[in-house]
Amino acid sequence: MLLSTCLLSLLTARALSLQGTIDDEEETTASPSPRPVPCDYDSCRHLQLPCKELQRRSRQPCLCPGLSSQNQPPDPPRLGEVQIWAEEGRAVLHWCAPASPVREYRLQFWEDGGDPRRGPALNNSLRQAPLYPLRPGASYLVCVVALNDAGESPTVEGDGEGFRGKGEAELFGPCRRISVPPRPQTYVHVAVGIGVGLASVSCLALLWHFCLRDRWGCPRRGRPRRHRPRPASGDARGL
């Protein structure tokens, strides 16, 4: 009798254990896995981490935008706002990253009629950088170049003289024409020069009016001209 009671207790405990395991498996199967969401990645955000790095750091699975192959040169970036400081002779360029793997960026610019120049390498997390030195009063063609192990993104050919900078080529492309205004001191110097010139002309006019008119015998307004009496012809002969 005692043996039967012990055997019954063991069977009951085993049944309860199996039932708990089945319930846990059903709960695990019923709970859906979290759906992946887009990663917090903005191609135009300054100091933006690469999307692969965001995936590694994210607690929730996230998806990155599609990228071209690492074995292909990157697509051209999209140049955005360009801020110009004429007094400092520099500009700040803002751009958006292409849908391609990028190792670094470089700024390239031409002055009208000059040779192309290229700045130092920039980290791939940057989306803005200063460009200098720029000459006040000059015009430039500026471009953003993306580089990876396969090559660099296209910009313009030659010295950029054929680039018109109109329509989609300027709004969505990597290049743009900019004009650096003259320094404010230049306008002051021009105004001072004009003022000095006008003052000089006024002084010369007054000098002619008060001094040279009498010397050259020019009549004055409101006064009759005096004539000196000439000696008679007989007196002149006697002398």
CB-count exposure of residue 59 (10 Å: 0-12, 13-18, 19+): exposed
Q: Is residue 40 part of a domain?
A: yes
Phi-psi category of residue 208: left, alpha or beta, with phi > 0 → left and psi -120 to 50 → alpha:
alpha
Note if the pTM is more than 0.85: no
Q: Which domain holds residue 46?
A: 35-65
Query: Who has greater pLDDT, 167 or 145?
Result: 145
CA-to-CA separations, 15 to 7, 29, 40, 196, in angstroms, rounded:
12, 21, 49, 110
The verdict on 51 and 110 lying in the same domain is: no
Name every residue whose Cβ is closer than 8 Å to that of residue 189 and which is 6 or more positions away in sequence: none
Block residue for tokens 């192990």: 149
pLDDT tens profile 97-143: 999 999 999 999 999 878 899 999 999 999 999 999 999 999 999 99
| Nearest to 94, CA basis, from 49, 135, 129, 43 | 129
Split into its structural domains, the chain has a count of 2
End-to-end CA distance of the chain: 186
The verdict on 51 and 111 lying in the same domain is: no
pLDDT tens profile 199-215: 777 777 776 666 655 66
The verdict on 78 and 144 lying in the same domain is: yes
Burial 64-83 (b: 16+ CB within 10 A, else e): eeebeeeeebbbbbbbeebe
**Count of residues for the chain?**
239
The verdict on 111 and 176 lying in the same domain is: yes
- The answer to whether residues 73 and 152 touch, using CB atoms and an 8 Å cutoff, is yes
